[in-house]
Structure 1
Amino acid sequence: MTEVLSNVVFRVASAEDIPAIVALVESAYRGESGLRGWTTESHLLDGQRTDAADVGTLIARPDSRVLLATRGGALVASCHIERQGAAGYFGMFAVDPGEQGHGLGKQVLAQAERIAREQWHCRAMRMTVIVQREELIAWYVRRGYRRTGEQRPFPYGDERFGIPRRADLRFEVLTKEFAEALA
């Protein structure tokens, strides 16, 4: 699947894309490069955000896709989407810090929702967001997501998800119901 929206080409990732995906996700969430954008988690977490093994697992898993957005052949954004029953799951969303704030994230989110709705016939999209990321939660709320109040623990002790800089991290589930899932 390849689709072009306003000079951005969307396609599904393959194993060859793993190093570029890991580099993009790390640049958006960790270290000094992440500080150029507004999606950084550097104030909450140290360490890695993902690794090649985790990305490879997502690419290979049934009912799962890593969606890539490229411009001029360069990877500028990615996300993971997965069919989980009647809902899609949206996660590992990354936009190159230099590309943030120009509408690319909205395009990627809309494309992921379209796949969940039109190809998988999902009725909703769900995600988890670190509760302390109020600005990010507000961004999703402006795009139709609702805070459910359902919370999940942060995986303390599992450095695959980062090294927490505080002891009160947890996730909140956000959901967006689709007007209609196409049959």
Structure 2
Amino acid sequence: MDVRPATDALVYRDATDADVDDLVTLIESAYRGDSSRTGWTTEADILEGQRTDADGVRAVIKTPHSTLLTVERDGRIVACCQLEHRSDHTYFGMFAVSPALQGAGLGKIIIAEAERRARERWGAREMHMTVISVREDLIAWYERRGYRRTGRMTPFPYGQESFGIPQRDDLQFELLVKEL
């Protein structure tokens, strides 16, 4: 496990098509399968199958007013997050940190940088995200970063395996919001 401080030589940049395979690998490793259990953000107990694929990552990269912020350390992609300008707010999604680096403060640093970029790039006043409502530990982490639960739920897309294969029948997404 890498024990260096999370701020060592981080490089932020917008993802390109050349990054797609590495980003898919990173995102899958953070959320699905046994490798995800190394970190604490795993969804392996509630969802099987894929979290994303090359087409999904490429779509985020190509969407107008959107970026997949890529974070490198020592020339290796170690984290990413989607930022998409949507009228009066920025949507934050596809957040992944290498499981081997989770718990060292890297996530806090990246989300702060993402918020800064949303304010500077688009003048965003709010950041919105959706989190699977049964992920209490993850929601609590976001609340400690200033996000608030809204109670606004959207259904989980059961039957659409591109979102994963649910292992329970009570999944839904809750909107979390933070004023920037």
User: What is the TM-score normalised by the length of structure 1?
Assistant: 0.94
CA deviations 1:61-80 (Å, max 9, x no partner) are: 10000001110001110111
- For 1:103, the aligned partner's letter is G
Structure 2, unaligned runs of 5 or more: 1-6
Pick one of 140, 143, 151 that aligns with 2:142.
140
Pick one of 4, 18, 24 that aligns with 1:16.
18
1:69 alignment partner, SS class: strand
Query: Root-mean-square deviation (CA), in Å?
Result: 0.7
C-alpha deviation, 1:115, in angstroms: 1.0
Instruction: Tell me the equivalent position of 1:102.
Output: 104
Instruction: Tell me the equivalent position of 2:78.
Output: 76
- For 2:144, the aligned partner's letter is R
- Cα pair 2:47 2:166 within 8 Å, conserved: yes
C-alpha deviation, 1:6, in angstroms: 3.9
- For 2:22, the aligned partner's letter is A
- For 2:31, the aligned partner's letter is Y
Is 1:161 aligned with 2:149?
A: no
C-alpha deviation, 1:124, in angstroms: 0.3
| Greater mean deviation of Cα atoms: 137-146 or 103-112 | 103-112
Cα distance in 2 between the residues matched to 1:20 and 1:6: 21
Is 1:116 aligned with 2:121?
A: no
User: What is the TM-score normalised by the length of structure 2?
Assistant: 0.95
Instruction: Tell me the equivalent position of 1:181.
Output: none
| Aligned structure 1 segments of 4 or more residues deviating by more than 3 angstroms | none
Is 1:131 aligned with 2:133?
A: yes
Cα distance in 2 between the residues matched to 1:62 and 1:98: 32
Pick one of 54, 69, 87 that aligns with 1:52.
54
Cα distance in 1 between the residues matched to 2:100 and 2:8: 18
Instruction: Tell me the equivalent position of 2:3.
Output: none
Instruction: Tell me the equivalent position of 1:36.
Output: 38
Cα distance in 1 between the residues matched to 2:149 and 2:127: 12
Cα distance in 2 between the residues matched to 1:114 and 1:86: 15
CA deviations 1:9-32 (Å, max 9, x no partner) are: 111000000000000000000001
Structure 1, unaligned runs of 5 or more: 179-183
Pick one of 167, 170, 173 that aligns with 1:171.
173
CA deviations 1:127-152 (Å, max 9, x no partner) are: 00000100000000000000011001
Instruction: Tell me the equivalent position of 2:4.
Output: none
Residue identity over aligned pairs, in percent, reads: 56
| Number of residue pairs the alignment of both structures matches | 174
